[in-house]
Amino acid sequence: MVPLSYYLMLGGFLFACGVVGFLIKRNIITIFMSIELMLNGVNLSFVAFAAHWHALAGQIFVFFVMVVAAAEAAVGLAIIIAVYRTRETLNVDQVNLLKL
Amino acid sequence: MSIHLILFLAFGAVCVAGAVNLLAQSHPINSALSLIAVMAALAGEYLLLGAEFLAAVQVIVYAGAIMVLFVFTIMLLNAGEEERTKGSRVAVLFGIPGILLGSVLVGWVILRHSGTEAVAAGALPGDPRTIGQLLFHEFLLPFEITSVLILIAIMGAVVLASKPPTSPAGGEVRQVD
């Protein structure tokens, strides 16, 4: 038997790691992976709450989060490729102008 | 100490180690591999919570499809070591204390208010049959809208990642200063 708070703490830790990575990382791909980490932390909380409240809808929500994550990854990585094509860098500090 | 708690702690340790390693590594491919470890361990946590189908989908979609996309992009762009810049030092100075404070606050609230009621293993049936019935009856409209979202994402990815249009002279329209 595992208390609900343990699952929430783990989910919160994963989310916090994602936020830290989002802030301190300078590689645009790693920043993107930090976002995925945040989504995973939230998913764990969803599943834990679904089991706790006996509401299966929480698990359905995780599916929708996964779908949004997949769509976001596809479009985001395409944007990264487009940015790399024009800037030839993956460092976000060097992508600071809208104009070339 | 029940076997359930031991498994939770084992998977949780892998999760924590992977998440910290993602931050510590400077090469994106190492970060991607540690993220795959986090997602696989999370699938184990889902199994403990009785979400069998979700655990399988987590491995197939997240650790499989999405991370393969990431690794492909890293390889395609030949991403190298990350360069540290002055901007990241400011983020470290203010970001990490802020996040630590925030997570301590969140942890305190969770421990204070969520109670210590245990989540039983397999308390909630998350098998494909139940999930499918719920998904195709109660959540049919969101499911259909999701398919439109995926279609838009596919088209967006194709448009964004396709080659830039070439100028009439034949050369690429591309200016790098």
Q: Of B21, B56, B81, which marks where a domain is finished?
A: B81
Q: Tell me the residue range of the domain where B56 lies.
A: 1-81
Query: Does residue B177 lie in a domain region?
Result: no
Domain boundaries in chain A?
4-94
- In this prediction, residue B50 carries a pLDDT of 85
- In this prediction, residue B123 carries a pLDDT of 60
Instruction: Assign 3-class secondary structure to chain B.
Output: CCHHHHHHHHHHHHHHHHHHHHHHCCCHHHHHHHHHHHHHHHHHHHHHCCCHHHHHHHHHHHHHHHHHHHHHHHHHHCCCCCCCCHHHHHHHHHHHHHHHHHHHHHHHHHHHHCCCCEECCCCCCCCHHHHHHHHHHCCHHHHHHHHHHHHHHHHHHHHHHCCCCECCCCCECCCCC
Least CA distance to B135: which residue of chain A? A60
Least CA distance to B16: which residue of chain A? A14
Closest partner CB to B116 (pick from A5, A37, A48): A5
Interface contact A13-B19, CB threshold 8 A: yes
Domain A4-94 fold: Helix Hairpins (1.10.287)
Structural domain count, chain B: 2
Interface contact B153-A30, CB threshold 8 A: no
Query: Does residue B135 lie in a domain region?
Result: yes
Report yes or no: A90 and A27 within 8 Å, Cβ to Cβ: yes
Closest partner CB to A82 (pick from B124, B150, B161): B161
Does residue B150 register a pLDDT over 90? yes
Judgement on whether residues B134 and B62 belong to the same structural domain of the protein: no
* pTM exceeds 0.90, yes or no: no
Tell me the per-residue pLDDT of B96-130, one tens digit each, with 9 for 90 and over.
Answer: 788 788 878 887 887 777 665 666 655 667 788 88
Give the ipTM of the model, two decimals please: 0.92
Does residue B171 register a pLDDT over 60? no
